[in-house]
Each structure stands twice: as structure tokens, then as C-alpha cells.
Amino acid sequence: MLPTTLLVVSCVSIFGAFITHNVINHYIPVFIARNLYGQDQCKKEKSKVPEPMGAIAAAVYSIVILALIPFMFYEWMSVGVSEVYPYIQLLAFLSAIISIWTAISLGFADDILDLRWRDKLLFPTFSSLPVLIVYHVCGHSTTILLPNFVVPYIGHQSINIGFLFYIYMGMLMVFCTNSINILAGINGIEASQGLIISTTVAIYNIIQLIRGEGIQWHQTFSLAIILPFIAINYTLYRFNRYPAKVFVGDTFCYWAGMTIAVVGILGHFPKTLLLFFVPQIFNFLFSIPQLFKWVPCPRHRLPKYDEKTDKLSMSKFEFSEKQTKFLGKIVLKVFSTFGLIDLTTTTKEDETFYHVNNFTILNLLLKIFGPMHESDLARVFIIVQITCSVIALFVRFYFASFVYDIVR
């Protein structure tokens, strides 16, 4: 039954991608006519680019997922994954849809209303509740395995952390929802993140199916959610890559993040999922001084565009020592020492001013490799993301056996 399930999900996903391509082409002039567009800041000609086209892709995805419910339900009933009516599977599927839909709504509201950061942290927390409640109601485990070097001190191979595990999963969903949104600014960067991470998630689940580890319906559930996303995301990426015909908007970022987080939690690999977000984790940690206002944070942190060379370089900003908090001064010194930022100081009227690039992974890549064309910068980041995904899978399925006695 499993090959049939994957075949049906794959066919429906491809059909969804085809529909997405046609619908986006149809709505490009509609968005322009309704003044739903942005201007590409990294081009000589600041043309109008429809935004948020991620809302259209998300709408098609929602229809595809709804269409899959009857088939998945029939599959769970027929293969006898449960001795009783498959409430658990149905609850998991419906809770996933609710959380994804609320994230899409939040993203669209952010595109239209330009929400504050505290709202962006608050709303995903509420969006995570359906999934977390279903996780609890279904009696899923909150026990984590301990590394071998910790076992002699604890006396157990595992420990039940109870409510703390739910806090972790809630924070994971908030992080995934916002991490892609933070790492943005050039053509194709958001869509490529969603595409690579979701593909890695699919590969992980396929490997688990081949290994025969865990409960099979967890993997089929994950693939049923993620495969349509991959297909539709790829279509959207083709429109969004350089030179962008559409902008995906915050709607896509929240949709992508929540979809991946839901799959990780209900597919029972929330700890492994973090391995697939290494560039996003680095970018978030690197951005903390600006996000938490330890140093001033400009409204936009995208790389600087030079019209003469048609290349991108590090975007820099200036601020006085008085504007810098104590933690900010420490961060500037540490980051400068390790070569993460390009820091210079000047003195004007007995006051010290700092000149520094924005704290993002894109600016760091430009610092390392020098100014480059927008499409080249996107390719470099894609290589970084893919490399991290390959290493993550290697760590999960090979290196973990040296740290844990049991690897599932």
C-alpha cells in the first residue's frame, strides 16, 4: 500500500505545481492592478513586482492538502495502522492544516499591515497550539535519549522532560516560522530556503522508511504534507529566482516555516529538524544584537546595490557610541576579532562613531567573497544551505551512533 500512497501523493503534488504555475501567471497582472506589488531594490530599474505571490501558492497548497484527506484516511483505515478508528491520524492531519492555515493568515496580515516583531513572535505561538494539543492528547512521548557520556552521571539512557518538551516544540515552531523571514533580501533566497529544507525533510523520511525504523504512518504523514509543498514551492521558486517575476512575501515565509515545523513535530523528529536549519540558526544568532537593539537596527538589512557595477556589497550603517548598549560594545569587539564584521571607528567633535555592516549571513558572505552579482550571491547561499543539509543527514544517520546507543 505504501508505494501506492507515495505515488498518489506525488501525482497530486505535480498536479498542484502545474495549477500553481497557471494561477500565478494569471494573477501577476491582477496584483499589479490592485497595487499589490513591491519594487526590486537590487536592480537598476525599480520595476513593479507582484507581492505577496506566496499567498496564491499557499492557497493552491491548501486545496491540494484538503484533496488528500480522503485518500490518506482510506489508506490508514485499509492497512490497519490502528485497531480502532484512526482518530490519531485524522487529528494529526487536521491539526496540521489548522496550524498551517493560521500561519498563512499571519503572513498575509504581515504583508498587508507590516506587523511589529513582538506580534510576529506572539501569533505563531497561538498557531502552534492545535499541533501541541493533539501531540498531548495522542499520548506521544516527551522522553529524550541522553548521550553516552551523560548516562554515567544520570544513571538512565533517557529522561522524561514533560512540559519542557512542549515548550521546546512551541519555540521550534516560532523559530521556524520567523527564521526564513529574517534571512531574506535578494531574489530567490526565501523560496530556495524552503525548497532545500523541505527536500531534506523528505529525504530524511524516505531514509527512515527504507530503514524500517519507527511507525510507518509518521513517515507517510510527513511525506503527504511535505511533498505537495516541495512541488508548489519549486514552481514558486522559478518565478522568484533572479530576475524575479514575483515576490513571495512574508506569507510564504510563515507558510514554509510552519509547514516544515508541523511535519517535524507530528512526524516525530523535532530534535533532528534543527539540524536542517543550521544556516538559519547561525543567521538568527548573528542577528540577535540588532534584533534586540543592542546596536541600532535599520529598517532593511539587505545588501547594498551598486548601479555602476551591477553588484551587491555589504550594507553598512553608522551610529554613535552613545547609541550602543554595553552588550553591544562587547558584541562589536568579539565579532570584529573573529572577522565576522567589518568595523571601523571615527571621531567627530569628541564623539566616537562606529561604521559596521549589518549582521546577516548574506553580508558575511559578501565580506568573505567580496562584491558579487545578485544571482551569484543567491547561488553561493544555496550551496551553503545544501552543504549544511548533507552534513546534517550524515550527522543524523552516521555520527549519532557514536553518541547514542540507540539511533532511530
Phi, psi of 128 (to 5 degrees): -80, -15
| pLDDT of 81 | 47
pLDDT at residue number 215: 59
Averaged over 323-349, what is the pLDDT? Answer: 86
Q: Which has the higher per-residue pLDDT, 132 or 407?
A: 132
- Considering 150-159, 165-174, 323-332, 395-404, the range whose residues carry the highest mean pLDDT is 165-174
Q: What percentage of the chain carries pLDDT values higher than 70? A: 91
Query: In the chain, what are the domain boundaries?
Result: 2-290
| All residues at 6 or more sequence positions from 374 whose CB lies less than 8 Å from its CB, including other chains | 42, 186, 187, 242, 305, 311, 312
Top-confidence residue, 303 or 217: 303
- Distance, CA of 88 to CA of 7 (rounded, Å): 23
pLDDT the model gives residue 246: 94
Beta pairing partners, 367:
none
Residues 362-385, mean pLDDT to the nearest whole number: 94
Q: Residue 226's pLDDT is what?
A: 95
Q: Does the pLDDT value for residue 408 go beyond 80?
A: no
For residue 68, the cross-strand partners are none
Highest mean pLDDT among 127-136, 241-250, 341-350: 241-250
Instruction: Dump pLDDT digits (tens) for 140-198.
Output: 777 777 666 666 777 777 777 778 888 988 999 999 989 998 898 899 999 999 999 99
Average pLDDT over residues 247-258: 93
What pLDDT sits at residue 406?
53
The answer on pLDDT for 383 being more than 90 is yes
- Considering only 54-63, 68-77, 284-293, 317-326, which range has the smallest mean pLDDT? 68-77
pLDDT in tens, 94-110: 899 999 999 999 888 88
Amino acid identity at 177: T
pLDDT tens, position by position, 204-237 = 999 888 877 655 778 888 999 999 999 999 999 9
The average confidence (pLDDT) of the chain is 86
pLDDT, position 71 = 80
What is the model's pLDDT at position 127? 85
% of the chain exceeding 90 in pLDDT: 41
Q: How confident is the model at residue 372 (pLDDT cuts 50, 70, 90)?
A: very high
Residues in a beta bridge with 347: 352
Task: Give the cell for residue 283.
Answer: 543567521
Asked whether the beta carbons of 124 and 103 are under 8 A apart, the reply is yes
pLDDT of 128 reads 87
